[in-house]
Amino acid sequence: MNILLGLLPFLVFALLEHAAGIAAGLSGAALTALGLCLRDWTGPRQHCGVIELLSLLLFGGLAVYAGVYAPNWSVMGVRITVDAVLLMVMLASMLIGRPFTLGYTRPDTEPALWLSPRFIRSHYVVSGMWTAALAVVVLADALILVWPGTVLAGGVAMGLALLTASRFTTHYAASLRA
């Protein structure tokens, strides 16, 4: 569930942007990410997770950028930027050999297991599933950007992709413990 909590700023962005506009969405997401980072820094992890830190930098930076340079930035322009950056970070984490999900399980796992091939492989599998889900989200964003009439289909695709990744993670983790 920590991965889902790490994605909370993205949910806050989507809800606030829809209800109150881009500036409110970006600012609310940045503040949510800051809250998550502060919780992590002062808790047992004593460091901010990759997704939480990315969210803080991304939403904070985009809030400043949108306020100063692009006050009329389109909602879909912001959404595709946010989702594409998250997708690139997820892909990069796997390419450099440190799947982003590692940070979410290490506090609850014996250090002796951290370098085991099974542990590392399982994180590539879970990170790969979340990365694939984000690829679907970015493709749906692009579809909506090009053909605005596809909002419903794009939204359904996004929801199904994220739900599938979440359920897969839960079931896969349970199968590894069995």
Quick one: pLDDT at residue 45? 64
pLDDT-based confidence at residue 10 (cuts at 50, 70, 90): confident
Q: What is the pTM of this model?
A: 0.81
Whether the pLDDT of residue 4 is over 90: the answer is no
Quick one: pLDDT at residue 100? 84
What would the pLDDT profile of 33-54 be if each residue is shown by its tens digit? 999 888 878 876 677 777 788 8
Whether the pLDDT of residue 1 is over 50: the answer is no
The domain spans of the chain are: 1-72, 74-178
> For residues 88 and 138, what is the distance between their CA atoms, to the nearest angstrom?
11
Which two tokens mark 11? 């949910």
Query: Residue written as tokens 């984490």?
Result: 93
Whether the pLDDT of residue 110 is over 70: the answer is yes
What would the pLDDT profile of 138-160 be if each residue is shown by its tens digit? 999 999 989 999 999 999 999 99
CA torsion sign for 106, 112, 115, 117 is negative
- For 58-88, b/e burial (b = at least 16 CB within 10 A) is bbbebbeebeeeeeebeebebbbbbbbbbbe
